[in-house]
Amino acid sequence: MQIIQSIAAWAAQQPAWIDDAVRRLVAGGLTPQDFQELSALAKAEHGLPGPKGRVAVRLDPKTLPAAAQDGVDVSLAAVRSPQNLNAIDPNQALTFQATGLTIVYGHNGAGKSGYRRMRDTWELLIEEHLFAGTVKRFRRAIETSKLRYVSVDDAEASAVYNGMTRCSNFTHEGGAEAPPALPEPSEFISDVEALATSLQTIENNKKATEKRRVEAGQATST
């Protein structure tokens, strides 16, 4: 299987809006309008439909470019003009050796800090999901009506504490002490999966909490 077919097979297993994004990329790239439409499709996937009622269009394998010849290797030779790639300057370029090993390194903040963004995501999870948007930073109003969704159990509290602590350990927020060695890629992936699992658990518990309180007459249904 060629790389383009592998990507198409992967996209077919993803939510429809991701498959649609791949379809657009294969067709030639993403325009500002594409970003707006994909954003609306992603929101609709999570229960926030847009006023235009957009529907994602999945990639049709028949539209893929002709397969390359068997035995032809595909390799990444360089990265040019990267956009929104960590803190890497879009005017920089990375060239990789055709054979052997190319090592990319940099100082703090040079574009290696995936855990910084993961910590930011944990913080958003707390505001928007665990506390259901009842209280948010930089917003004066407190939406007490959303408390009908909120019920934090020990497992959720522990997951948030552990996730935030692990991210902090890798973002140099522990003072002047030398940070621990960065984890293996498989560990990073496991941490991302733990974050996704916590989000799904919290969303399920929110629905169950609201249902229980509505049935008990402690809240009104939305």
Whether residues 51 and 93 share a domain: the answer is no
Whether residues 13 and 57 share a domain: the answer is yes
Whether residues 136 and 54 share a domain: the answer is no
Count of beta carbons in the 10 Å neighbourhood of residue 81:
10
Report the alpha-carbon angle 156-17-190, nearest 5. Answer: 35
Whether residues 143 and 94 share a domain: the answer is no
DSSP for residue 147: G
| DSSP letters spanning 47-112 | T---TT--------GGGSPPPPPTT------EEES-SSSTT--TT-EEE--SSS------STTSS-
Q: Maximum distance among all alpha carbons in the chain?
A: 68
Number of domains in the chain: 3
Whether residues 22 and 39 share a domain: the answer is yes
Quote the percentage of the chain above a pLDDT of 90: 21
Whether residues 127 and 93 share a domain: the answer is no
**φ/ψ bin of 111: left (φ > 0), alpha (ψ from -120 to 50), beta (otherwise):** left
Residue 80 lies in a domain: yes
Residue 220 lies in a domain: no
In the prediction, which pLDDT does 222 show?
Answer: 65
Low-confidence ranges of the chain (pLDDT < 70): 1-2, 65-74, 84-89, 104-113, 172-182, 221-222
Residue 221 lies in a domain: no
Structural domain span for residue 21? 3-68
In the prediction, which pLDDT does 77 show?
Answer: 81
Please give the distance of CA 115 from its chain centroid, rounded to a whole number.
12
Amino acid in position 122: W
pTM over 0.85: no
Phi, psi of 72 (to 5 degrees): -90, 120
pLDDT tens per residue across span 98-125: 777 777 665 555 445 677 788 888 888 8
Whether residues 80 and 41 share a domain: the answer is no
d(C-alpha 21, C-alpha 43), whole Å? 14
Whether residues 80 and 44 share a domain: the answer is no
Residue 124 lies in a domain: yes
Whether residues 90 and 145 share a domain: the answer is no
